[in-house]
Amino acid sequence: MALSSAGATAPAAALDITVNAATGYQTVDGFGAAVSIWGSAWSTAETQTLVGLGTNQFGLSIVRTGISPVAGEWGTQVNAPKVAKAYGSGVKILATPWTAPPEWKTNNSRINGGKLQTDNYDEYAGHLNNYVQYMRGQGVPIDVTSVQNEPDWHPAYDSMDWSGDELRNFARDQGARIQNTKLMVAEAVNLNYGYTDLTLNDANARDDIGYIGGHLYGTGAAGRLGPYPLAAQSAKPMWMTAWNLHAADGNGSNIWGDPANQAVWNETLDDIMRTVHRSMEAKNRERGRPIHRNRRGTGHGERPGAQHLHSGPDTLTG
């Protein structure tokens, strides 16, 4: 199949793209965005704009939401995913914890990492399961539940430290207790396979997870934008679950609301979306992609169930 662009004035050269429908790669699970885990969630109107398939709507099909360590706060995050499920088309919900309750951790704090005490693994599994069942009771089935956001990053905000061995042990010994959802490991900062290989290589742990997750921060420099053979061999879909950058304004967010700001558009298209595109170029790699910069892209062309096809070298003709 050849695709070319035409306008009122014929271009000097037409770009031919050959698509081979007989050679398919990964099936797309969706393209999404993350609800803020701190502060206010999306309004009903914002959620409809993000997941709707109509004019001036984005058509996103994955919503990532946070699991607060305080059960009394779970209700603040019900409306957005509930609206997304009802209004969108085939929307999946990914729920991610940033930290366990501080009393279960070695540093007795929500922030600066700290490990989950091994004696509290069962309590943590119960905590995650209680969240899933609470949301289910609110009319929000949680399709995928992560064990941890960025187990290899320990900043001065909600966070928790895990090793690959600890994630493997938790998935193996506690994973089956988290019901009515599929478990994800491990959302490491730059898709560090040291946090997922051990789980995938353990038959019992592997059987209790449904997805591999990771973030794109530093992935190109680390040489991990290529395929992840072990995930493919284990038949575990791989999702890129977070990627955000706002260096154009000195790592603040004050200029994002100005659609005329060219620096933000350049950063979004040249850095964010270029890297996302490259991660999808790797054959049979990411199938789901929630990103933080959620008003700069569209999911209309990335519908769940779509398959990426092989395209041959671009050629210029004419």
Q: If 0-12 CB within 10 Å is exposed, 13-18 middle and 19+ buried, where does residue 199 land?
A: buried
Domains and CATH numbers, the chain: 1-25+309-318 (no CATH), 29-302 (3.20.20.80)
- 180 has a pLDDT exceeding 90: yes
Task: Indicate if the pLDDT at residue 313 is higher than 90.
Answer: no
Highest mean pLDDT among 1-5, 168-172, 188-192: 168-172
Rounded to an integer, the average pLDDT of 177-189 is: 97
Residue 100: what pLDDT? 98
pLDDT of residue 206: 98
**Which has more confidence, 42 or 278?**
42
pLDDT of residue 143: 98
In sequence order, which ranges of 75-180 are alpha helices (DSSP H)?
A: 79-87, 121-137, 164-174
Highest mean pLDDT among 191-200, 279-288, 289-298: 191-200
Cα torsion at 298, 302, 303, 305 (round to 10°)? -160
State the average pLDDT over residues 267-282: 78
Predicted pLDDT at 18: 80
Is residue 122 a contact partner of residue 108, using CB atoms and an 8 Å limit? no
Instruction: Write out the DSSP string of 4-68.
Output: ----SS--SSEEE--EEEEEEEEEP-EEEEE--SSS----HHHHHHHH--STT-----EEEEEE-
For 22-70, what is each residue's pLDDT tens digit? Answer: 877 777 888 899 998 887 889 999 999 999 999 999 999 999 999 999 9
Which pLDDT score is estimated for 282? 61
CA distance 40 to 44: 12
Mean pLDDT taken over the chain: 85
The reported pTM is 0.86
pLDDT beyond 50 at 302:
yes
**pLDDT in the model for residue 159:** 98
Q: What angle do CA 313, 316, 318 make, to 5 degrees?
A: 150
Q: What pLDDT does 274 receive? A: 81
**DSSP helix/strand/coil, 246:** coil
pLDDT at 232: 92
The structure tokens listed for 225 are 């934008």
Q: What is the pLDDT of residue 154?
A: 97
